[in-house]
């Protein structure tokens, strides 16, 4: 039989104060003497107190959680709808926990509607009623300080997808980009000869996730002693036309290219269009990134041969879950950086991801 679980009342008796005071001390509310608070905290720990969150749910006002992610227009629609989905799914799974959601879509860029401005607005208007924030750690150096405004106010912040290591975030939930790049190299290494040319759509060097994925790919190639000739095409989401022309040129110039890999979503679509246009599908291995409707179709049609999936849905889901666990039970995550597994998707199981 489990030992009787100890409650707020037990601590109250042990410390000769009222249950109300114990509650205030344990939850960091104002209005408890410094000595009393310490005594209560210590005895609570000594007695192994675990709050009964169900009881607390019954009467307390809702926890208000804000999720701030890019609005999914234009190039953001390849990735961020799944981040929103993961966030919303977690919130829906947790309805029983008396939670209110605030959704803050922002535009990636500067000025009105930017992440910086939207977060500033949120802080100014709602900091009093806000209990936690989840956002993406992909921001300019000068914007890091915004996160600190929230944590200074006692509002914990969890980052998803991209980290800001120097910030006071509770943790970051992200993909292991290096591992993902290695995995794709490993996959291709069994499919093409050792002297192949391989086209890498390497995205934007300044974006950490792109850079690290390429790095992982290259480190595998190097460690295994493969003699592949890697041809890299850089280019961010704003020069897709240029990237398209460059890929077309390379594919035509180099009929020996036996494999291609795009490390980001937008260029995956560009790569597939080029492969299709030149009728190269079926004659080379093409690995793309991320699940989105066009890419699912690419795989079904055999334009690409596999998808490397970094699971943004699960990243956001887990980020939200970790934040709520912290708010409800004061349980910090074990690691500051939590990695979500990446998977290789095949035509045979792509339907599972629809």
Partner DNA sequence: CTGAAAGCGCTTACAG
Residues of the shown chain interacting with a copy of itself in the complex, contacts defined by CB under 8 A = 52-55, 57-58, 96-98, 176, 179, 182-183, 185-187, 190-191, 220, 285, 305, 339, 341-344, 346-349, 352
CB of 240 to DNA, least distance (A): 50
Which one of a copy of itself, DNA, none is in contact with 285 (Cβ closer than 5 to 8 A by kind)? a copy of itself
How far is residue 172's CA from residue 176's CA, in Å, rounded to a whole number?
A: 12
Report the DSSP beta bridge partners of residue 259.
Answer: 198, 285
Residues in Cβ contact with 219 at an 8 Å cutoff, skipping those fewer than 6 apart: 178, 181, 182
Residues 58-97 interacting with DNA (rule: CB under 7 A): 58-61
Piece of 8-16, 87-95, 139-147, 251-259 that binds DNA (CB under 7 A): 8-16
CB of 242 to DNA, least distance (A): 55
Rounded to whole angstroms, the maximal C-alpha distance in the chain is 83
What are the φ and ψ backbone dihedral angles of 183, each rounded to 5 degrees? -60, -40
3-state secondary structure (DSSP) of residue 255: coil
Query: For residue 102, what are its two tokens?
Result: 């605030």
Determine if 128 is a binding residue for DNA (CB under 7 A). no
Tokens 């956002």, residue located = 135
CB of 115 to a copy of itself, least distance (A): 27
Which one of a copy of itself, DNA, none is in contact with 182 (Cβ closer than 5 to 8 A by kind)? a copy of itself
Task: Give the residue with the Cβ less far from DNA, 60 or 222.
Answer: 60
Task: Give the residue with the Cβ less far from DNA, 52 or 110.
Answer: 52
Determine if 327 is a binding residue for DNA (CB under 7 A). no
Task: Give the residue with the Cβ less far from DNA, 28 or 165.
Answer: 28
* Whole-angstrom Cα Rg for the chain: 25
Which one of a copy of itself, DNA, none is in contact with 191 (Cβ closer than 5 to 8 A by kind)? a copy of itself
Which one of a copy of itself, DNA, none is in contact with 89 (Cβ closer than 5 to 8 A by kind)? none
CB of 36 to a copy of itself, least distance (A): 28
Q: 157, 167, 165: which is closest to 133 by C-alpha?
A: 157
Query: For residue 298, what are its two tokens?
Result: 């690419």
Distances (CA, A) of 333 to 105, 136, 181, 260: 26, 18, 26, 37
CB of 41 to DNA, least distance (A): 12
Query: For residue 89, what are its two tokens?
Result: 């799914």
What are the φ and ψ backbone dihedral angles of 202, each rounded to 5 degrees? -90, 5
- Could you tell me if 180 and 216 are in contact, meaning their C-beta atoms sit under 8 angstroms apart? yes
Piece of 4-12, 198-206, 336-344, 345-353 that binds DNA (CB under 7 A): 4-12
How far is residue 216's CA from residue 211's CA, in Å, rounded to a whole number?
A: 9
**Among 14, 47, 51, 343, contact with DNA (rule: CB under 7 A):** 51
**Among 5, 242, 283, 329, contact with DNA (rule: CB under 7 A):** 5
Which one of DNA, a copy of itself, none is in contact with 92 (Cβ closer than 5 to 8 A by kind)? none
**Among 14, 36, 189, 215, contact with DNA (rule: CB under 7 A):** 36
CB of 89 to DNA, least distance (A): 24
**Among 13, 38, 55, 166, contact with DNA (rule: CB under 7 A):** 55
Half-sphere exposure of 257 (CA within 13 A, CB side): 24
In the 8-state DSSP scheme, what is residue 292? -
């Amino acid at each position: 039989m489990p030992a009787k679980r100890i409650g707020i009342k037990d601590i109250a008796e042990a410390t000769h104060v009222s249950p109300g005071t114990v509650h205030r001390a344990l939850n960091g509310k104002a209005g408890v003497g410094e000595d009393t608070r310490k005594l209560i905290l210590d005895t609570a720990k000594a007695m192994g107190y675990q709050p009964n969150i169900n009881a607390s749910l019954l009467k307390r006002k809702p926890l208000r959680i804000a999720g701030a992610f890019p609005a999914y227009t234009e190039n953001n629609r390849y990735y961020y709808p799944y981040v929103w989905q993961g966030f919303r799914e977690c919130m829906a799974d947790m309805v029983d926990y008396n939670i209110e959601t605030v959704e803050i879509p922002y535009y990636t860029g500067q000025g009105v509607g930017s992440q910086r401005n939207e977060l500033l607005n949120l802080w100014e208007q709602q900091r009093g009623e806000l209990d936690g924030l989840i956002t993406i750690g992909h921001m300019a150096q000068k914007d890091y300080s915004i996160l600190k405004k929230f944590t200074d106010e006692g509002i914990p912040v969890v980052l998803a997808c991209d980290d800001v290591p120097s910030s006071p975030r509770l943790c970051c939930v992200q993909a292991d980009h290096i591992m993902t790049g290695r995995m794709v190299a490993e996959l291709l290494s069994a499919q093409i000869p050792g002297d192949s040319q391989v086209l890498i759509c390497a995205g934007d060097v300044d974006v950490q996730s792109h850079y690290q994925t390429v790095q992982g790919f290259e480190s595998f190639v190097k460690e295994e002693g493969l003699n592949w000739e890697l041809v890299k095409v850089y280019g961010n989401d704003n020069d897709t036309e240029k990237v398209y022309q460059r890929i077309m040129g390379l594919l035509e110039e180099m009929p020996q290219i036996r494999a291609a890999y795009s490390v980001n979503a937008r260029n995956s679509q560009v790569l597939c269009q080029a492969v299709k246009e030149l009728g190269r599908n079926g004659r080379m291995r093409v690995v793309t990134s991320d699940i989105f409707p066009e890419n699912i179709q690419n795989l079904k049609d055999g334009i690409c041969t596999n998808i490397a999936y970094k699971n943004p849905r699960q990243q956001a889901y887990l980020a939200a879950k970790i934040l709520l666990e912290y708010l409800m039970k004061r349980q910090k995550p074990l690691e500051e950086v939590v990695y979500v597994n990446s998977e290789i998707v095949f035509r045979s199981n792509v339907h599972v991801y629809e």
